């Protein structure tokens, strides 16, 4: 995949979630505070992880304001799409059907999950049909 991004470790992903969830650049202290429930880190541990994220091209640190402000360079959706594709390719030979079948067979999917998925697919199909009709009307 040409648009592949590097993989994030579990702790790196937690850090990125804090940055992605923020509407503006964040300080390391802000990140540390947001993670205090799940991670009992010292600031130095977080700084090491932020440095690795910068090296991987996930964040940039702006030092011009007097405090280090971290901003995501890779949008959350782009990362999740790439990670999902890699997961699907590795575990299910790039077959969404195989993944859903495995989850269903193992009773990991509840009936409510199946209904929610069915509704979602129906909405996607309806949106696509509506778009196709609009395009068709524009070509007449």
Q: For residue 43, what is the domain's CATH number?
A: 1.10.10.10
Residue 116 Cα distances to 106, 109, 120, 121, 123, angstroms: 18, 11, 6, 9, 11
- Does the pLDDT of residue 19 top 80, yes or no? yes
Task: Write the pLDDT tens digit of every residue in 122-132.
Answer: 999 999 988 88
What is the pTM assigned to this prediction? 0.79
Residue 56 Cα distances to 69, 72, 92, angstroms: 17, 11, 27
DSSP code per residue over 79-100: HHHHHHHHHHHHHHTT-HHHHH
Q: How many domains does the chain have?
A: 1
Residue 41 belongs to domain spanning: 10-72
Task: Write the pLDDT tens digit of every residue in 76-117.
Answer: 999 999 999 999 999 999 999 999 999 989 999 999 998 999
Strand partners, 60: 71
The C-alpha atoms of residue 91 and residue 89 are separated, in whole angstroms, by: 6
């Amino acid at each position: 995949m040409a648009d592949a991004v590097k993989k994030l470790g579990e702790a790196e992903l937690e850090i990125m979630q804090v940055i992605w969830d923020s509407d503006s650049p964040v300080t390391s202290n802000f990140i540390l505070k947001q993670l205090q429930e799940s991670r009992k880190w010292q600031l130095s541990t977080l700084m090491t992880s932020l440095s690795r994220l910068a090296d991987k091209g996930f964040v940039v640190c702006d030092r011009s304001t007097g405090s280090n402000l971290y901003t995501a360079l890779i949008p959350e959706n782009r990362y999740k799409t790439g990670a999902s594709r890699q997961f699907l390719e590795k575990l299910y030979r790039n077959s969404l059907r195989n993944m859903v079948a495995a989850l269903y067979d193992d009773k990991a999917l509840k009936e409510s999950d199946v209904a929610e998925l069915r509704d979602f697919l129906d909405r996607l199909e309806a949106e696509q049909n509506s778009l196709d009709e609009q395009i068709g009307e524009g070509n007449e």
